[in-house]
């Protein structure tokens, strides 16, 4: 039987387990990436595991999230990361170089290789034929030290593409269409593999937009084959030697197939407050827009921004709309400048923003009260923009440019002649903002690691208690994202300092949460979080597990939990329980006393247990489905304690 692309990469990297969907497997990671917001903690954990140097083929530490530098904290983080890179043999990407995923695609991604990144949009690398997966920082630290990455062997869905996109319709519209079909939950344990004759009209930046936003589906990752277009992109990046062909065998099989005709795709928008809440732009036409922001790791490539510049050339933005453009990388900025396209943008009235995450993570450019903001980014979770009442829509660069000109939602196909941007034969290459360590593979052992006062320590955890003597410290609803649990934006600068950051757990939902949780912890009560479907959607930020752990959370009881967050909970010793009967969600209220006399035994055994709601006098059957490795981690109190005891 032939193999699909996913199976080929998995088989070539398998170190434990069998390629049977649903079973836990372990794979070797060729490359890792971190970004600064998750990276400081990842490297603190790497240090505390006593690793001597990076053992991957390539590990890159990017700085792209915390670049605002209001106060000393961001700059201290950068200095720490730079010194760690030198010490342990990593490539360091300086602030100003660009967004990790765009840069990694341009300069380092290799077809057929595996990549683990401490950022949920690491699957961007799937656009170049990598198996690229997002994970918590500690998992990346382990992979960086040469350890395997554990995952559930995925089912593979083939997305069979025919036809070609119409003018004015682009890759963003296609992934929004896929999101409208599959939604943002219920897709755990699956990989999307794109195939079919339609691939011929999707270049690597388009493919990367699609795999990037596959993260919003909750799939493990998304992958394109590596073909002639991949070869062309790598050649234009001066990296022909990195190309290798990787296509599915003709008789490869898939768990399911979704057939899409690209010619039928129309401009789409994800409406507030979920990337899965998708509508055709035509149905929103005429609605007023206050802000348009173009950029983020989804849509900040040379192709995307040149398209926008050409649409705005010789015109002015609408007087009632604020427009910002944040290029994805320094390469993109240089090329826009060299071709005079920056002039087009500035002349039209666009605010040129830093080539960094910036607005996407609510780090600046928050919209006004109740404002309508159109963004080319990938997440429109409530309050992520920094303004709780803002209405954020996710659209393509073409739809964003159309609204910038007209001041209202406008189907870009109505703009008249639309530009087609061909991939350049040669991208502008200047790697001078990377710090390469001459002694990769050993690092520079004598390097002094720079630790400013914002660089904290890794919090410790005790082994799992015999009994749960708990309280439902909070009860939240469906699709609670990690942005709800551990807000970024203005709070992002506390990432290296867990006690400080922990004060903001659940801040967007319940400002009193941290105080209540700390009081329970001091009183010797275990905190339990109760949640609905798809708890922990969104980012890879392990702080959404680490900070609750710090506040004494011992269990999350939810209808379902998303993949990366589930792994993070286990890594920090928090037991992920599911309701055996989802209707029992109604049998618990905030502050109810919850007990389980055999917590440890339940985790060590078959995962079935009864949670007693002492307040309401009810018994609630719950279940946790764990591999033997996950049981060991939970019983030890998490991955770090397990490593320290030689039980990981
Ligand atoms: C995001 O887009 O939410 C982030 C910020 O990039 C996160 C990582 C983080 O929280 O630092 C992600 O996607 O994993
Ligand atoms: Fe940065 Fe936004 Fe991409 Fe996250 S989604 S990596 S914040 S640009």
Cα torsion 582, 180, 171, 67: sign: negative
Which three-class secondary structure state does DSSP give residue 135? Answer: coil
Testing ligand 1's pocket by substitution, the residue of 33, 37, 543, 544 carrying the most ligand atoms inside 8 A of its CB is 37
Going from the Cα of 465 to the center of ligand 2, the distance in angstroms, rounded, reads 37
Tokens (6 digits) for 531: 């949640």
Arithmetic mean of pLDDT, 327-331: 98
Ligand 1 nearest atom to the CA of residue 543, by list position: 10
Q: Which of 488, 489, 494, 504 most suits a substitution to test ligand 1, by most atoms within 8 Å of the C-beta? A: 488
Q: How many angstroms is it from 112 CA to the middle of ligand 2?
A: 24
Could you tell me how many residues make up the chain? 648
- Give the separation between CA 110 and CA 129, rounded to whole angstroms: 7
Binding site membership of 356 for ligand 2 (Cβ less than 6 Å): no
Atom of ligand 1 nearest to the CA of 121: 13
pLDDT mean over 303-311: 98
The answer, yes or no, to whether residue 437 has pLDDT greater than 90, is no
CA distance 73 to 455: 8
Confidence label for 441 from pLDDT (cuts 50, 70 and 90): confident
The CA–CA distances, whole Å, from 303 to 205, 209, 373 equal: 7, 11, 22
What is the tally of helices (H) and strands (E) in the chain? 20, 27
pLDDT, mean of residues 449-475: 96
Token pair for 44: 């603190």
- 232, 235, 218, 124: which is closest to 178 by C-alpha? 218
* pLDDT tens column, 129-143: 999 999 999 999 999
Of all protein residues, the one whose alpha carbon is nearest to atom 1 of ligand 2 is 357
Q: Residue 323: which pLDDT band, with cuts at 50, 70 and 90?
A: very high
Q: Is the pTM of this model over 0.85?
A: yes
Cα 297 to middle of ligand 2, angstroms:
6
Residues 599, 584 contacting (CB under 8 angstroms)? no
481 lines ligand 1 (CB under 6 A): no
Find the 301 Cα to ligand 1 centroid distance in Å. Answer: 19
Digit-coded pLDDT (tens) for 548-561: 999 999 999 999 99
Which of 37, 120, 123, 297, when mutated, tests ligand 2's pocket best, judged by the most ligand atoms within 8 Å of its CB?
Answer: 297
- Ligand 1 pocket check for 121: Cβ under 6 Å: yes
Cα separation, 599 vs 610, whole angstroms: 9
Which residue, among 540, 567, 539, 561, has the nearest Cα to 275 in the 3D structure? 539
The closest alpha carbon to 39, from 9, 16, 8, 61, belongs to 61
CA dihedral sign of residues 105, 108, 111, 114: negative
Does position 439 have pLDDT exceeding 80, yes or no? no
Write out the two tokens for 326.
Answer: 């944040």
- Residue 296 CA to ligand 2 center (angstroms) comes to 6
Could you tell me the distance, in angstroms and rounded to a whole number, from the CA of residue 432 to the centre of ligand 2? 23
For residues 56-63, average pLDDT = 97
By CB atoms closer than 10 A (0-12, 13-18, 19+), residue 581 is exposed
Per-residue pLDDT band for 535 (boundaries 50, 70, 90) equals very high
Q: Looking at ligand 1, which atom is closest to the CA of residue 357?
A: 6
Domains of the chain, each with CATH number or no CATH: 268-415 (3.30.499.10), 468-638 (3.20.19.10)
Q: Whose CA is nearest to atom 3 of ligand 2?
A: 297
Token duo for residue 227? 């073909």
Among 33, 121, 124, 295, say which to mutate for ligand 2: greatest number of ligand atoms within 8 Å of CB: 121
CA–CA distance, 344 with 114 (Å, rounded to integer): 39
User: What pLDDT, in 10s, does the model give residues 368-400?
Assistant: 999 999 999 999 999 999 999 999 999 999 999
Q: Concatenate the DSSP letters of all residues of 314-343 into one string.
A: T----TT-EEEE--SBHHHHHHHHHTTHHH
**For the CA of 119, the nearest atom of ligand 2:** 6
**From ligand 1's centre to the CA of 229, what distance in Å?**
29
Residue whose CA lies nearest to ligand 1 atom number 2: 539
Residue 33 Cα to ligand 2 midpoint, Å, equals 14
Q: Is the CB of 120 under 6 A from ligand 1?
A: yes
Express as a percent the part of the chain with pLDDT over 90.
97
| 5 Cβ contact partners less than 8 Å away, ≥ 6 residues apart | 129, 193, 223, 224, 225, 246, 247, 248
Q: Given a cut of 80, is residue 623 above it in pLDDT? A: yes
> In 537-583, at which residue ranges do the beta strands (DSSP E only) sit?
553-558, 575-579
Q: What is the mean pLDDT of the chain?
A: 97
The answer to whether residues 66 and 74 touch, using CB atoms and an 8 Å cutoff, is: yes
Nearest CA, atom 12, ligand 1: 539
pLDDT value for 438 = 76
- State the SS3 of 282-308: HHHCCCECCEEEECCCCCCCHHHHHHH
C-alpha dist (Å) from residue 64 to 119, 126, 200, 539: 12, 20, 32, 15
CB distance 363 to ligand 2 below 6 Å: no
How confident is the model over 248-266, as a mean pLDDT?
98
pLDDT at residue 440 in the model? 67
Nearest by Cα to 62 from 113, 21, 15, 103: 103
pLDDT over 70 (residue 273): yes
Whether residue 488 has its Cβ less than 6 Å from ligand 1? yes
Q: Whose CA is nearest to atom 9 of ligand 1?
A: 541
pLDDT tier at 647, thresholds 50, 70, 90: confident
DSSP-derived secondary structure letter, 219: -
What value does the mean pLDDT take over residues 426-450?
92
CB of 555 closer than 6 A to ligand 2?
A: no
Mutate to test the pocket of ligand 2, among 38, 99, 332, 358 (most ligand atoms within 8 A of CB): 99
CA-proximal residue: ligand 1, atom 10 (nearest)? 541
Residue keyed to tokens 């705005």: 312
Sort strands 31-35 and 114-117 into parallel, antiparallel or unpaired: parallel
Please say whether the beta carbons of 576 and 587 come within 8 A. Answer: no
Q: What letter would DSSP give residue 190?
A: E
Residues 6+ apart with CB under 8 A from 554: 464, 465, 468, 470, 526, 527, 528, 573, 574, 575, 599
């Amino acid at each position: 039987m032939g193999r699909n692309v996913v199976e080929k990469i998995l088989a070539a990297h398998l170190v434990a387990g069998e390629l049977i969907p649903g079973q836990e497997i372990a794979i070797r990671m060729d490359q890792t990436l971190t970004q600064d917001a998750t990276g400081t903690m990842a490297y603190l954990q790497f240090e505390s595991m006593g690793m001597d140097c990076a053992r991957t083929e390539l590990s890159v530490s990017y700085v792209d999230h915390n670049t605002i530098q209001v106060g000393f904290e961001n700059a201290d983080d950068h200095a720490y990361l730079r010194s760690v890179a030198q010490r342990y043999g990593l490539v360091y990407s300086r602030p100003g170089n660009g967004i990790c995923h765009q840069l990694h695609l341009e300069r380092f991604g290799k077809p057929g290789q595996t990549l683990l990144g401490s950022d949920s949009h690491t699957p961007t690398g799937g656009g170049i034929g990598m198996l690229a997966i997002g994970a918590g920082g500690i998992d990346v630290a382990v992979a960086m030290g040469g350890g395997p990455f554990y995952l559930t062997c995925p089912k593979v869905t083939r997305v069979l593409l025919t036809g070609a996109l119409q003018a004015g319709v682009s890759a963003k519209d296609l992934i929004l269409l896929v999101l409208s079909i599959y939604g943002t939950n219920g897709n755990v344990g699956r990989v999307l593999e794109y195939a079919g004759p339609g691939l011929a009209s999707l270049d690597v930046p388009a493919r990367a937009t699609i795999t990037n936003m596959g993260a919003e589906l909750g799939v493990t990752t998304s992958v394109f084959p590596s073909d002639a277009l991949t070869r062309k992109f790598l050649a234009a990046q001066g990296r022909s030697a990195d190309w290798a062909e990787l296509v599915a065998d003709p008789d490869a099989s898939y768990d399911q197939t979704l057939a899409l005709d690209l010619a039928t795709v129309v401009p789409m928008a994800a409406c507030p407050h979920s990337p899965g809440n998708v509508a055709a732009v035509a149905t929103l036409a005429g609605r007023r827009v206050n802000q348009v922001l173009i950029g983020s790791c989804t849509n900040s490539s040379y192709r995307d921004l040149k398209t926008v510049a050409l649409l705005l050339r010789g015109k002015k933005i609408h007087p009632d709309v604020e427009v910002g453009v944040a290029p994805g990388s320094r390469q993109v900025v240089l090329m826009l400048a060299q071709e005079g396209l920056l002039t087009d943008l500035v002349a039209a009235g666009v605010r040129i923003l830093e080539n960094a995450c910036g607005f996407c993570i609510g780090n600046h450019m928050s919209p006004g009260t109740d404002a309508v903001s159109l963004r080319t980014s990938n997440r429109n979770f409530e309050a992520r923009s920094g303004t709780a009442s803002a209405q954020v829509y996710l659209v393509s660069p073409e739809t964003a440019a159309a609204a910038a000109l007209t001041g209202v939602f406008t189907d870009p196909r109505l703009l008249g002649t639309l530009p087609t941007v061909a991939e350049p034969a040669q991208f502008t290459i200047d790697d001078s903002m990377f710090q390469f360590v001459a002694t990769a593979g050993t690092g520079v052992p004598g390097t002094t690691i720079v630790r400013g006062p914002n660089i904290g320590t890794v919090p410790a955890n005790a082994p799992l208690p015999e009994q749960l003597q708990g309280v439902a410290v909070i009860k939240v609803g469906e699709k609670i994202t990690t942005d709800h649990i551990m807000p970024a934006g203005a709070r992002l600068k506390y990432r290296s300092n867990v006690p400080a950051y922990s004060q903001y757990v659940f801040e967007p939902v319940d400002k009193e949460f941290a105080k209540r949780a700390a009081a329970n912890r001091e009183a010797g009560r275990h905190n339990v979080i109760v949640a609905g479907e798809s708890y922990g959607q969104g980012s890879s930020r392990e702080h959404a597990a680490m900070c609750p752990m710090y506040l004494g959370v011992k269990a999350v009881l939810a209808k379902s939990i998303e993949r990366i967050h589930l792994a993070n909970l286990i890594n920090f010793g928090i037991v992920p329980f599911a309701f055996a009967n989802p209707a029992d969600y109604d049998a618990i209220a905030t502050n109810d006393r919850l007990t389980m006399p055999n917590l440890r035994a339940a985790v060590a055994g078959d995962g079935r247990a009864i949670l007693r709601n002492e307040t309401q006098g009810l018994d609630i059957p719950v279940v946790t489905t764990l591999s033997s490795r996950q049981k060991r981690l939970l019983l030890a109190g998490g991955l770090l304690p397990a490593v320290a005891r030689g039980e990981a």
